[in-house]
Structure 1
């Protein structure tokens, strides 16, 4: 079985599932470019837990519509993929072997950080999926260690996905069109992240809030960038490959990065 890459996916707004954009078109083609996974583990910015990471064990995970004020078509969407409780238990065991405590949720469904990109990548919804939480208040280095603990799953055909956003300051959204040009402070942060990721500058990445330009402005809170560090760690030292770069609404950088595995 081919070793899978780990991925960081910027999932943008929930309307990514239905709006026409370069990022949507890219994700709609990405699944076919990858080896078919045996299962998918998604570390989502929209599942935060306190003190320890948790995994979802639901056998039939519900589609969670964890947003408000969007078009009715979004609330009608379902992603009926089977769960992956055995793989999730294996993930929890790997985390525990690495010194983490690991929670287990019997009922957690798929939030839009998981189902929005997956409905584009794997529209048949026939690959088992489980989620992993990010840990509120834990550092980028902590999340990188979580990812490193999970790296052996890739050799079992599991696609480890960190789903967040390369930039995510919704306070700066002013109703601008989806194809608005990014302001300089968004572009500068994205350019710095690309150099650091492709250059393998792990120490700078771990300290991005002090090192990267406009880091706090792009991420007033960290939950949307922490999945990147899970994907980076799961890559087990592989250099990042930028697979896609675009912007939506000016303030959302929609970058996708791969770590390890075959070229996609």
Structure 2
């Protein structure tokens, strides 16, 4: 797999599953077979190794500015509970990229949006559970970028637009969340709401024109079962960033599972064409 810093890379919105699943075995891990296969397929479909990954995770938000992780050797953030003891010592040792973090900060600031650097932040599970299946050798630098805690769709679409030039610089932009995220209604209880919202999401992303797509996302809470699917939209907002980074380009569904975790309809999407 060659390194390519000239061909434009697509952007992704990935459903990242639950907890530290890639580091587990047994029945719980078995729930993620299809999701894992979709993540492992991404490097092959890209055909080139990114210079770096810019990761917007549903598990990091800041109130006042978009914060870029600036550490050269990011630590780990074990932001989950109730899992086996060994999952609180796993390490995904991908390097950070302070120069990319500064580039990200500059692009955001140039767009008139608040931006800062965070030298202490580490990889949360929204980042390392997607990166480990994709790049198990941890040989691609990763910079995480926070959301804003206001969850404003247009602001996060604008963030994506500001970051779009990175796609021509060999940087893979990844929004990591979950297309359905209601922790109080997983399993069979999620079947109706998740399928209704996913059907709307498929239409909005795959069938609407680019302008219509962005407008639909600005008003996502009007969608069928929207608030049942996302009582708190932290796991949906990374989608806005990925869409904004490829706002005029076509979307492709790369993962769709109608019975995830026993009843959830879950999906992941790519925005933009694959490198030539």
TM-score normalised by the chain length of structure 1: 0.93
Q: Does 1:10 align with 2:15?
A: yes
Specify which of 170, 176, 191 is matched with residue 157 of structure 1. Answer: 170
Could you tell me how far apart the structure 2 residues matched to 1:7 and 1:65 are? Answer: 23
Distance 1:184 1:252, change over 3 A: closer
> Deviating runs (4+, > 3 A) in structure 1?
250-254
- Coordinate RMSD, CA, aligned: 1.8
Q: Does 1:186 align with 2:194?
A: yes
Distance 1:250 1:205, change over 3 A: farther
Q: CA deviation at 1:252?
A: 4.5
**Deviation larger for 31-40 or 102-111:** 31-40
Q: CA deviation at 1:253?
A: 4.0
Q: How many residues align?
A: 258
Within a 5 Å distance, the mapping from 1:68-107 to structure 2 comes to 68-107=81-120
Q: Does 1:229 align with 2:240?
A: yes
Q: Does 1:207 align with 2:212?
A: no
Could you tell me how far apart the structure 2 residues matched to 1:3 and 1:51 are? Answer: 31
Q: CA deviation at 1:250?
A: 4.2
5+ residue gaps, structure 1, are none
Could you tell me how far apart the structure 2 residues matched to 1:260 and 1:48 are? Answer: 26
Q: CA deviation at 1:32?
A: 2.5
Specify which of 36, 40, 44 is matched with residue 28 of structure 1. Answer: 40
- Tell me the alpha carbon deviations over residues 50-69 of structure 1, each in whole angstroms, 9 at most, x when there is no partner: 02211100100112211110
Q: Does 1:130 align with 2:143?
A: yes
Q: Tell me the residue number matched to 2:51.
A: 38
Q: CA deviation at 1:115?
A: 0.6
**2:14 counterpart SS class:** strand
Could you tell me how far apart the structure 1 residues matched to 2:151 and 2:198 are? Answer: 22
Please tell me whether the aligned partners of residues 198 and 266 of structure 2 are also in contact (alpha carbons under 8 angstroms).
no
**1:89 counterpart SS class:** helix
Please tell me whether the aligned partners of residues 10 and 253 of structure 1 are also in contact (alpha carbons under 8 angstroms).
no
Please tell me whether the aligned partners of residues 95 and 101 of structure 1 are also in contact (alpha carbons under 8 angstroms).
yes
TM-score normalised by the chain length of structure 2: 0.89
Could you tell me how far apart the structure 2 residues matched to 1:252 and 1:141 are? Answer: 27
Q: Tell me the residue number matched to 2:61.
A: 48
**2:123 counterpart SS class:** coil
Please tell me whether the aligned partners of residues 83 and 130 of structure 1 are also in contact (alpha carbons under 8 angstroms).
yes
Please tell me whether the aligned partners of residues 55 and 92 of structure 1 are also in contact (alpha carbons under 8 angstroms).
yes
